[in-house]
Amino acid sequence: PALAAGSTVVLKPAEWTPLTASLLADITHEAGLPPGVFNVVQGYGDEAGAPLTADPAVRRISFTGSVPTAHRIAEAAAAHLVPCSFELGGKSPLLVLADADLDLAADLAVEQYDNAGQVCLAATRILVEESVRDAFLGRFLDRVAQLTQGDPRDESTDIGPNIHPRHADRVDGFVWRALAAGAKAVVGGGRNTALDGALGGKYYLPTLLTDVDQDSEIVQEEVFGPVLTLQTFPDGDDDEAVRLANGTRFGLAATLAAGDRERAARIAARLVAGTVWINCFYVRDLSAPFGGSRLSGVGREGGDWSFDFYCDLKNTVTASKRWADRG
């Protein structure tokens, strides 16, 4: 959208994910974009990112990443009153109602392990109506048992590694602190040691934790790994379902598995989320607005929703009948 609005762009990717950004620069060059219109700067945040966000020549900052980094960027941008657009983290819920297609619900839940859980939109908090908990859980565990973890370059692989050994350590820390606090791992709960030698010890088993409290770290904080939690709410208690779903600092997305259209619509209307999927997940129309509420972000992307952000609006007013007579 920045390019479509006529702006020039400097893209600084995360230091652990440099290759796609460089590939995009190659593609824009081959497509004939004039030199200097799309630029890529590689480097660490302190060395490359901080000078960019503090430079007064930068007139807009769009950032995708963590909340702490967004705080630092906002502070730097404030010095020059530079507007910011943030797409940040999430701790999204997946609500499973008693009348839902439980096979579909289980499929949706397992889908949250995609990309080794490194998806900001992932519905990592599964909230199930009590009467169908066991039936849902059985289907979910059956599907998890069929997943293949391994090299992402192998087409038979369902779950690859985390991005970096340090990130795998972070994911493991979340899980072990949760277990120490009383959580139960009904599946996973640690590293996939059988694959440790393959790609540097970055593989973490798809994990589901139960017996977790709403105010616990594992429920409240973004893990960004293949780790889900399971909680229940009383049958028919939509208020409690919504309370649990909205009970974090985030509001990026929500997923709902339901059989009754009207009940699903009522619940969806009460969810604090920039995107709500009903009986589906990650269906994105790029012309639709995308973004989050609360600590999940500021602003929207998609379609022409962000054009105003990348432009300064100008209003030109002309007085009538004041033109000089030129014959």
pLDDT confidence of 199, banded at 50, 70, 90?
low
pLDDT confidence of 195, banded at 50, 70, 90?
confident
Numbered ranges of CATH 3.40.309.10 in the chain: 93-278
User: 120 an active-site residue?
Assistant: yes
pLDDT confidence of 223, banded at 50, 70, 90?
very high
**CATH superfamily name and code, 93-278:** Aldehyde Dehydrogenase; Chain A, domain 2 (3.40.309.10)
DSSP string, 115-137: GGG--TT---EEEEEGGGHHHHH
Q: Kindly tell me if the per-residue pLDDT of 327 is higher than 70.
A: no
Specify the range with the lowest mean pLDDT, choosing from 64-68, 204-208, 273-277: 64-68
Q: Kindly tell me if the per-residue pLDDT of 326 is higher than 70.
A: no
Look up residue 148 and give its two tokens: 């293949």
Beta bridge partners of 128: 96, 232
Burial 141-174 (b: 16+ CB within 10 A, else e): eebbeeeebbeeeeeeebbbbbbeeebbeebbeb
pLDDT at 193: 86
pLDDT at 194: 86
Q: Kindly tell me if the per-residue pLDDT of 20 is higher than 70.
A: yes
pLDDT at 307: 86
Q: Kindly tell me if the per-residue pLDDT of 41 is higher than 60.
A: yes
Numbered ranges of CATH 3.40.605.10 in the chain: 9-88+287-298
pLDDT at 320: 77
Q: Kindly tell me if the per-residue pLDDT of 322 is higher than 80.
A: no
Q: What percent of the chain has pLDDT over 90?
A: 86
Per the model's pLDDT, the better-predicted residue between 119 and 326 turns out to be 119
Query: What is the architecture, at CATH level 2, of domain 9-88+287-298?
Result: 3-Layer(aba) Sandwich (3.40)
pLDDT at 254: 98
H helix runs in the chain, sequence order? 19-30, 50-54, 67-78, 102-111, 133-145, 165-180, 217-220, 238-245, 261-270
**Mean pLDDT of the region 313-317:** 91
Task: Tell me the per-residue pLDDT of 252-296, one tens digit each, with 9 for 90 and over.
Answer: 999 999 999 999 999 999 999 999 999 999 998 888 889 999 999
Q: Kindly tell me if the per-residue pLDDT of 183 is higher than 60.
A: yes
pLDDT at 286: 85
Q: Kindly tell me if the per-residue pLDDT of 55 is higher than 90.
A: yes
Average pLDDT, the chain: 94
Catalytic residue among 15, 47, 111, 120: 120
The H or E element spanning position 276 is: strand 275-278
pTM, rounded to two decimals? 0.92
**Mean pLDDT of the region 15-43:** 95
**Mean pLDDT of the region 55-84:** 94
pLDDT confidence of 198, banded at 50, 70, 90?
low
Per the model's pLDDT, the better-predicted residue between 298 and 287 turns out to be 298
- Could you give the CA distance from residue 201 to residue 19 in angstroms, rounded to a whole number? 21
**Cβ distance 70 to 86 under 8 Å?**
yes
Task: Tell me the per-residue pLDDT of 105-154, one tens digit each, with 9 for 90 and over.
Answer: 999 999 999 999 999 999 999 999 999 999 999 999 999 999 999 988 99
Q: Tell me the angle at which helices 238-245 and 261-270 cross, rounded to the nearest 10 degrees.
A: 40
pLDDT at 12: 96
Catalytic residue among 15, 47, 75, 87: 87
Q: Kindly tell me if the per-residue pLDDT of 321 is higher than 60.
A: yes
